[in-house]
Amino acid sequence: MPFKLIEKSQQAKEFSYCPYSKFRVGAALLAHDGTIFTGCNVENACYNLGICAERNAISTAVSHGYKNFKAIHVISPCGGCRQVMSEFGSDWDAYLTKPDGSFVKMTVMELLPTSFTPEDLKKKTLQKSN
């Protein structure tokens, strides 16, 4: 399975819009029913408005009604993308590719062990001390 995701993310990165960094990134996201969603990075002259490949793939999946995922492949997710991934659970796989083509398999929890999750919003807030 990781090889299919790697292949799809490599294809997706060809569509990257990266005139500033010249660094193409692709991501492939696997839903539990076997559907694969891809995304690529889309840069913007106002740098913080750019969209990372993995957030692009997740947004596409959500816009098609998917919210449970089995695995994702990406080169190296930033902290913001790790947080977005954790929004959809911590017990799914992330395959991170190294420059030599080898990859490392981790869970989303291992990528961001102390993420802020929807469960945190259900917790009672700390009371101020007098």
Residue 12 assigned to a binding site? no
119 as an active site residue: the answer is no
Are 41 and 56 spatial neighbours (Cβ–Cβ below 8 Å)? yes
User: Is 104 marked within a binding site?
Assistant: no
The residue type found at 41 is N
* Residue 78 assigned to a binding site: yes
Asked if residue 40 belongs to a known ligand binding site, the reply is: no
What backbone phi and psi angles, to 5 degrees, belong to 87? -60, -25
Catalytic residue (choose from 54, 87, 110, 119):
54
14 is in an annotated binding site: no
Query: Does 81 show up as a binding residue in the annotation?
Result: yes
Q: Is 41 annotated as a binding residue?
A: yes
3-state secondary structure of 129: coil
Give CA–CA dist 73/101, Å, rounded: 12
| Strand ranges across the sheet with 93-97 | 36-40, 26-31, 69-74, 93-97, 103-107
Binding residue positions for Zn(2+): 52, 78, 81
Query: Can you say which residues are annotated as belonging to the binding site?
Result: 41-47, 52, 78, 81
Q: What are the catalytic residues?
A: 54
Binding residues for substrate: 41-47
